[in-house]
Structure 1
Amino acid sequence: MSSQTQSFDAKALRETVLDMAYAGSTVHIGCAFSIIELLAVLYRKHLRYPGNDPHATGRDYLVLSKGHGVMAQYACMRELGWLKDEAFSAYFADGSELKGLSDSRIPGLEVTSGSLGHGFSVGVGLAMGAKLRGTDQKTFALVGDGEVNEGPIWEGALFAAHHELKNFMVIVDENGFQAMGRTQEVLKLGSIQAKFESFGFEAITIDGHDEVAIDCAIMQLWASNSASPKALIAKTVKGKGVPFMENNNIWHYTRLDPVTYARALSAVDGRAP
C-alpha cells in the first residue's frame, strides 16, 4: 500500500488545509473539509504507490474530479513526502506551483480538473486502459454531488458499465451543497445510489466521516464477484470539523481573516474558539 507509516490523521489534515487557505488567502475550505476522511482512508490503506512513487507504473489512480477540493489532497501528499513544507507556507504566492484546482503537472495529481464532470470520464479511461493491459490497477474517481448534475458523468457511467470496469470506483461526496446553493434546490438528484445502480453500478451509501465505515465499504465493493463498476456514496458535511463552517455555504468562497483562522484552528484542535 502507499503508506504504512503515515497516519493521515483527520485533525492534522484539516489544520494543514487551514494553514494553506490562510497563507494563500484562498477559498474552497468547506469542500476540502468534506472529503478529509475519504482521502485519509484511501491514502492510508487502499491506494498503491510502489516505492512511494507518484509516477510508479503500477500505481493505482486517484482522480479528484471535484478539483476545487484539492487542498485536502495536498495535505495527504505532504504526509507522503511528495510536497515540502515550503510549498504550503508559500501557497498562492508568486511562483507557487500549487494551484487552487487539481493540476496534473503536480506529481500525484492524475488530472487537471475544475471543469466539473470531466475527471470522472478520465478515470473511466484509466480503468479501461488498465483492463486492456491486464493489470490489477484500480481507479478511484472522487466527485461532488453537485457535479453529478453534469452529463459527462452519466455518459462515462454508461461506458464503465458496458465494458464491465470492475476496477473502477466512483466516490460521491454528497455534502448537499454546490457553489450556488443547496443541491436539492439547484437540481434535485433523488437517490444517488439508486441512480448509479440503474446505470449498472454496484453501490453502497455510508457516513463519509466514519473512517471504519468507509474502509469496510471499499473492501466490500472490491471483494464483490460482480463485474460491475462500483459506486460509494458518502454522506458528508460541508465544512466538517469547524462548527461555524458546517453546512454554511458561504465557506465555499469566503477567505479566512486572522479572527476566523484562529477560531477555526481552535475548533479543529477541540478547544473553545
Structure 2
Amino acid sequence: MYKKEDWQPMDATLKALSAKAHWVRKEMFRLHQREPETRIASSLSPIEMLTALYYGDLLKFDPKDPHWPGRDRLILSKGHGVISIYPILADVGFFPVSELEKIGGTDTFLSAIPDAIIPGFETTNGSLGHGVGVGCGMALALRAQKSESQVIVINGDGEMNEGSVWEGIMFAGHHGLDNLMLIIDDNKYSMLGAQKRVMGLDPMAKKLEAFGWNVVEMDGHDMAATHQSLKQIWNVRDGRPRAVISHTVKGVGVPELLDNDLCHVSTLKSERVAEILADLEAQEPKGDA
C-alpha cells in the first residue's frame, strides 16, 4: 500500500498472492545460491506472511520515501530469515532488482544479516531478542504522536526463548499497545534443534493471553488463511497488543532440511539449488504474478 493519493492497490486476489509467493521462493533460492552464508531453512517459513503483508493491501509503505512518517514500521527481528524479504523489497521498489545479484559482495548493502542502511529496513537485525523491545518503544512513540501507523515485529519461535522478548511482551500488555503486532514464525526449530527439546513454548497462545495480548493462530503456509487471518486482526484496536502465531515448517519443501536439528545452519550446494529451481519452474502457477 502506497501513501500517494493516486496509488493503485495491488492485486490481492488469492491467485495473485500465491503466484507472488512462488516468485519470492524462487528468488530466495537464487540468493542462497549466490551467497551460501544465508540461512535457507529459516527463510523458507515466513514467505507467505511477508507476501500477504506487502502485496495483500495491508502494510503502509512508500518505497520512494522509506522514512515517510505515515508508514507502518516492520521489524524483521529474525534477521537470519532475510532472503525471504530481499526480493520483495526490490520488487516493490525500495532498491533495483539488479541489486539482488550482488548479495554478499563488497559493492552492495545486501548480506546474510540485514542492516538498517538497507532501504525498507527499520532496524539492524542479527542479535536476537531485541525486536519486541524496540517495537514497544516505536509503538509508544507513535501513540504519543497520535499516529495511525502501527508496528509489526516478526520473531522466530527460537527467539521467543530470550528473556528480553518476554519483558517486552509484559510491557506491551501493561501499556495496552494495541498499535503493536507480533507475528511469531512458529516453525518448531531453532539453531539448537527442535524447540520442544530446547525450551518448549506450548501453550504459547495462553502465555501471551496471560500477559494481556489478543492472540490468533494461522496456518502460515496456507496463503488464503494467512492473508485472511492478518486482514481480520489488522485494524483491531481493543486496548491489547496483537499476536499472530503462524504455524510453519522450517525448511518446507526441501526434504533434507525437514526434521533436521542442523537445518538452521545447513547450506545447500549450488547443484542442489539448481535442481530445486528447476522443480519450481515446472510448478509455475498459471497467470501473471
**TM tier, smaller:** over 0.9
Q: Does 1:65 align with 2:83?
A: no
C-alpha distance in 2 between matches for 1:206 and 1:119 = 21
- Show the counterpart of 1:76: 88
Residue 241 of structure 1 contacts residue 268 of structure 1 at CA under 8 Å; is this kept in 2? no
Question: What is the letter of the counterpart of residue 9 of structure 2?
Answer: Q
Whether contact under 8 Å (1:242, 1:268) holds in the other structure is no
The RMSD of aligned alpha carbons is 1.9
For 2:38, the equivalent position in structure 1 comes to: 27
* More off after superposition, 140-149 vs 19-28: 19-28
Secondary structure, aligned partner of 1:171: strand
Q: Look up the match of 2:286.
A: none
1:137 deviates by: 0.3
Distance 1:247 1:263 in 2: 21
Q: 1:231 Cα shift? A: 0.4
Match for residue 18 of structure 1 among 10, 15, 29 = 29
Q: Superposition pairs for residues 217-228 of structure 1, below 5 Å?
A: 217-224=229-236, 226-228=238-240
Structure 1 unmatched runs, 5+: none
Cα distance in 2 for residues equivalent to 1:122 and 1:158: 14
SS of equivalent residue, structure 1 residue 46: coil
SS of 2:257's partner is coil
Query: Cα deviations across residues 6-60 of structure 1 (Å, max 9, x unaligned)?
Result: 7561111011111111112223111111000000000112110147532211100
**Alignment partners' CA distance in 2, 1:247 and 1:40:** 25
**For each residue in 1:128-155, what CA deviation from the matched residue of structure 2 results, as whole angstroms up to 9, or x when unmatched?**
1110000100111000000000011111
CA contact under 8 A between 1:119 and 1:141: conserved in structure 2? yes
Q: From 6, 9, 23, give the equivalent of 1:4.
A: 9
1:43 aligns with 2:43: no
2:34 counterpart letter in structure 1? A
Q: For residue 249 of structure 1, report the CA deviation from its aligned partner.
A: 4.5
Alignment of 1:39-188 (within 5 A): 39-44=50-55, 45-50=57-62, 53-188=65-200
The runs of 5 or more residues in structure 2 that have no matched partner are 3-7, 284-289
| SS state at 2:206 partner | helix
TM-score under structure 1 length normalisation? 0.93
- Aligned in 2, Cα 1:270/1:204: closer, same or farther, shift over 3 Å? farther
Deviation per CA, 1:161-197, whole angstroms, max 9, x where unpaired? 1111111100000000001201111111111111111
User: How big is the shift at 1:4?
Assistant: 3.1
Whether contact under 8 Å (1:237, 1:247) holds in the other structure is: no
Q: Deviation at 1:264?
A: 1.8
**Contact 1:11-1:269 within 8 A present in 2 as well:** no
Structure-2 residue corresponding to 1:199? 211
Distance 1:112 1:228 in 2: 27
| Letter matched to residue 124 of structure 2 | T
Q: Alpha carbons of 1:237 and 1:127: their partners in 2 closer, same or farther (altered >3 Å)?
A: same
Judging changes above 3 Å, is the alpha-carbon distance between structure 1 residues 166 and 21 closer, same or farther for their aligned structure 2 residues? same
Name the stretch that deviates more: 50-59 or 151-160: 50-59
Report the Cα offset of residue 267 of structure 1.
3.5
Which amino acid in structure 2 is aligned with residue 133 of structure 1? Q
Contact residue 37 and residue 208 of structure 1 kept, 8 A: yes
1:160 CA drift (Å): 0.8
Where does residue 208 of structure 1 map in the other structure? 220
Which amino acid in 1 is paired with 2:22?
K
Corresponding residue number in structure 1 for 2:268: 256
Question: Hey, what's the Cα distance between the residues in 2 that align with 1:242 and 1:190?
Answer: 26
